[in-house]
Amino acid sequence: MFDKFKKEGGEMMEERKKEQGVDESKSSISQSSNQIGIGELMDKRAKLEEAIDYVGLMIKNLKDKRTNLEKDIEEESVDIKNLKEKLQKVTEYIEEENQGIQELTKKRQQVENEADEVGSIINNLRDRLSGIDKIIDSEGIRVKKIKESRNTLES
């Protein structure tokens, strides 16, 4: 980048020197400074500046990547929180259903117990009715015997 300006600047200076009629002695001073290594030093400085610019660009890219990662992590965090809330609601629903099932189980047991009681009452009543039926049968037999004994007495 700076090489371009340095080259153009050097060419422009040479043209100006020629135009102004600068003598050869100044030109020789310029050549002697190149021999000392100032030109190479300027080249190194220019390359270092380019390297610093490149590192700055890398840092900017890393900051952009980090910013994007932070954004992605935040979005994932929000999604996970939403999922956690949904799972909490599902857990609450399951707990409510389990409580409902327990209540239904208790009610069924109560109904079963009542059904057993009704069955016992029916059996008791059946036994009593059977007892009454036997009594009626036995009384009916007595009545028949009495009628038969009357009929035999009357005849």
Three-state secondary-structure class, residue 37: coil
Indicate whether 22 pLDDT > 80.
Answer: no
Give percent above pLDDT 70 in the chain. Answer: 76
Segment 70-99 shows an average pLDDT of: 97
**pTM value?**
0.45
Per-residue pLDDT at 32 = 56
CA pair distance 91, 65, nearest whole angstrom: 38
The per-residue pLDDT of the chain, averaged, comes to 83
Instruction: Record the tokens describing residue 22, joined without a space.
Output: 């600068």
